[in-house]
C-alpha cells in the first residue's frame, strides 16, 4: 500500500478521525489495527510469517531480560536469536542469489533446477524490521532495555505503519515512551502537514519525473554521448535522494499527526564537505545502526589504524549487501569503503581537508557529490537487477563514442531537477534556515497545499513504488 495511493489515503483518513476521538488508552489499539491492515493489504501469508517472527523474537527478548536480571550469561541466547533472524532474512532475500552463486561455482544443474522450482516472495519490509528486532535484542543484552515490554507494545513498535516499509529504523526509546500518551499540538500538526506536502513534492514531482527522464540513458547507455551518461548519474543521485527522503518526510509527517516524533533520516547529505560527514547525513538511522551493532562489535576504533579501517570497510560492504541480493550492492559498499579509507589516510597524516576559502569549500562539496553520483553505476544496476560489470563495459564504450546526446529539452529538465535537489539539500542541511518561516505557517500551508494539488494534477500519475520498498 503506497503512501501516495487512494487505499492508503482512505485508511489514514479513518485512522486519524477515530484515533483522536477515543481515549488515550485506546489509541494504540487503533494504531495496531491500522498497521495490521496496512501489512495485510500486501499479502496474507507474509502477514502470518511477520507475526510469527515477532512472536519468536518476543520470547527470546523476555528470555534475555530474565537472564540479565538473574545475572546469567546471555551470549548464547543472544547469538542464537541473532543467527535465527539473519537466517530468516537470508532465506527470503538472498535465496536466489546463493543458488545462482553455487551454480556458477559448481556448474551443477541441481542449483539451477531449485531456482526454477521455487517461487519465494520477499516479505514486505523484511530488511527494516529485521534490523529493528536485532536492535532490541542487542539493547537488552547491553542493558539499555531493563524493563519487560508487553507483547502488544512490542508488536506495535515493529509494525507501526508510517515507518514499517522503509524506515527510519527506530530504537525502543524513539517510540515506546509515548505509546500510552501520544501528544499532538498545533505546532506538531502544522509540521506534520508540511512534512507530508514536502515528501509528496520530492517523490511525485521530482523523483518520479526525473526517473522517467534518465531511465532510457541507463537502459541503453550505448546510444548516448558520455556527457548524457554523466548527467544521468547526477539525475539518479537526485532521484534516489528525493525518493527516499521524500518517503521519510511522509513517514515523519504521518507519525507527527498521530502524536509521535520519529527520527530524521536525511540532513542535507549532498551539502557535505567529506565522506565521513556524508554518512552522518545520508540514511542516518541505518548508518548509526551499522555503527552501533556492527562496527563497534567488530572492534570499532580499538583495533588500531589499519584494524579500524578494515572494520569500517567491512561494515560498508555488509551495509551494501544489506540493500539487495546483487553483487552490485557489494561493490557499492566497497566503493564507499575505499573512499572513506583514503579520507582517513589524509586525516591521519593531519592533512587539512576542510578549506577555509568559501569557493574551495563549495568545490569540495561538489566533488563529494560527484563521487556519490558515480556510485550510481553500482546502485542503479543493483536496484534494477542487472549486471554492474556489463553496465560498466557499456558505459566505457560509450565514453569513447560520438553518439548523440539527449535532447536539449530533456537535458534542461534534468539540470533543473538537479538544481532543485541541491536547493532542498541546502535547506535541509541546517533547519535554522526554516525557522524564520515559522510565523508564516498559517499562510504557507494552504498555499503549499494548493500548489501541490496543481503539481500533482500536472505531474503525478498516481506515483510509482518507492525505490527502497524493494529492500
User: What does the block give as the cell for 228?
Assistant: 548524457
- Taking the alpha carbons at both ends of the chain, their separation in whole angstroms is 15
What separation in angstroms does the CA of 319 have from each of 172, 301, 330, 336? 22, 18, 8, 10
Instruction: Give the burial string for 103-124 (b: 16+ CB within 10 Å, else e).
Output: beeeeeeebeeebeeeeeeebb
As a whole number of angstroms, the distance between CA 335 and CA 316 comes to: 9
Catalytic residues: 323
3-state SS record for the chain: CCCCCHHHHHHHHHHHHHHCCCCHHHHHHHHHHHHHHHHHCCCHHHHHHHHHHHHHHHHHHHHHHHHHHCCCCCHHHHHHHHHHHHHHHHHHHHHHHHHHHHHHHHCCHHHHHHHHHCCCCCCCCHHHHHHHHHHHHHHHHCCCCCCCCCHHHHHHHHHCHHHHCCCCCCCHHHHHHHCCCCCCCHHHHHHHHHHHHHHHHHHHHHHHHHHHHHHHHHHCHHHCCHHHHHHHHHHHHHHHHHHHHHHHHHHHHHHHHCCCCCCCCCCCHHHCCCHHHHCCCCCHHHHHHHHHHHHHHHCHHHHHHHHHHHHHHHHHHHHHHHCCCCHHHHHHHHHHHHHHHHHHHHHHCCCCCCCCCHHHHHHHHHHHHHHHHHCHHHHHHHHCCCCHHHHHHHHHHHHCCCCCCCCHHHHHHHHHHHHHHHHHHHHHHCCHHHHCCHHHHHHHHHHHHHHHHHHHHHHCCCCCCCHHHHC
Amino acid at each position: 500500500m503506497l503512501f501516495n495511493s487512494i487505499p492508503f489515503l482512505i485508511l489514514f483518513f479513518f485512522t486519524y478521525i477515530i484515533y483522536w476521538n477515543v481515549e488515550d488508552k485506546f489509541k494504540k489499539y487503533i494504531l495496531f489495527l491500522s498497521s495490521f491492515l496496512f501489512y495485510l493489504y500486501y499479502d496474507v501469508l507474509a502477514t502470518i510469517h511477520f507475526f510469527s517472527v515477532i512472536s519468536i523474537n518476543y520470547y527470546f527478548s523476555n528470555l534475555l531480560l530474565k537472564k540479565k536480571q538473574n545475572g546469567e550469561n546471555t551470549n548464547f541466547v543472544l547469538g542464537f536469536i541473532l543467527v535465527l533472524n539473519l537466517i530468516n532474512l537470508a532465506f527470503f532475500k538472498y535465496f536466489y542469489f546463493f543458488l545462482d552463486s553455487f551454480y556458477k561455482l559448481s556448474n551443477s544443474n541441481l542449483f539451477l533446477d531449485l531456482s526454477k522450482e521455487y517461487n519465494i516472495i520477499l516479505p514486505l519490509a523484511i530488511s527494516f524490521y529485521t534490523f529493528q528486532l536485532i536492535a532490541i535484542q542487542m539493547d537488552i543484552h547491553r542493558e539499555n532495555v531493563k524493563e519487560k515490554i508487553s507483547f502488544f507494545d512490542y508488536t506495535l513498535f515493529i509494525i507501526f505503519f508510517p515507518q514499517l516499509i522503509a524506515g527510519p529504523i527506530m530504537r525502543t526509546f524513539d517510540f515506546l515512551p509515548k505509546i500510552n500518551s501520544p501528544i499532538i499540538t498545533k505546532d506538531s500538526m502544522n509540521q506534520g502537514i508540511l512534512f507530508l506536502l514536502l515528501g509528496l513534492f520530492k517523490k511525485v514531482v521530482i523523483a518520479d519525473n526525473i526517473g522517467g527522464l534518465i531511465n532510457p540513458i541507463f537502459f541503453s547507455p550505448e546510444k548516448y554521448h558520455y556527457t548524457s551518461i554523466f548527467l544521468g548519474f547526477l539525475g539518479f543521485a537526485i532521484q534516489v535522494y528525493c525518493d527516499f527522503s521524500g518517503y521519510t518526510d511522509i513517514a515523519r509527517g504521518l507519525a507527527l499527526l498521530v502524536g509521535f516524533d520519529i527520527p530524521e533520516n536525511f540532513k542535507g547529505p549532498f551539502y557535505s564537505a567529506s565522506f565521513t560527514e556524508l554518512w552522518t547525513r545520508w540514511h542516518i538511522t541505518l548508518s548509526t545502526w551499522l555503527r552501533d551493532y556492527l562496527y563497534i562489535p567488530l572492534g570499532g576504533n580499538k583495533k588500531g589504524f589499519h584494524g579500524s579501517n578494515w572494520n569500517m570497510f567491512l561494515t560498508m560492504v555488509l551495509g551494501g549487501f544489506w540493500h539487495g541480493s546483487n553483487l552490485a550492492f557489494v561493490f557499492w559498499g566497497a566503493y564507499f569503503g575505499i573512499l572513506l579509507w583514503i579520507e582517513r589516510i589524509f586525516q591521519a597524516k593531519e592533512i587539512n581537508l576542510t578549506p577555509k576559502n568559501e569557493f574551495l569549500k563549495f568545490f569540495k562539496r561538489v566533488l563529494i557529490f560527484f563521487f556519490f553520483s558515480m556510485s550510481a553505476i553500482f546502485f542503479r544496476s543493483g536496484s534494477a537487477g542487472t549486471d554492474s560489470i556489463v553496465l560498466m563495459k557499456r558505459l566505457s564504450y560509450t565514453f569513447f563514442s560520438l553518439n548523440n546526446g539527449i535532447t536539449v529539452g530533456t537535458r534542461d529538465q534534468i539540470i533543473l531537477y538537479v538544481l532543485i535537489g541541491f536547493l532542498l539539500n541546502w535547506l535541509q542541511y541546517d533547519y535554522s534556515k526554516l525557522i524564520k518561516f515559522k510565523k508564516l505557517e498559517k499562510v504557507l500551508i494552504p498555499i503549499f497545499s494548493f500548489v501541490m494539488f496543481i503539481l500533482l494534477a500536472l505531474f503525478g500519475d498516481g506515483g510509482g513504488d518507492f525505490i527502497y520498498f524493494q529492500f
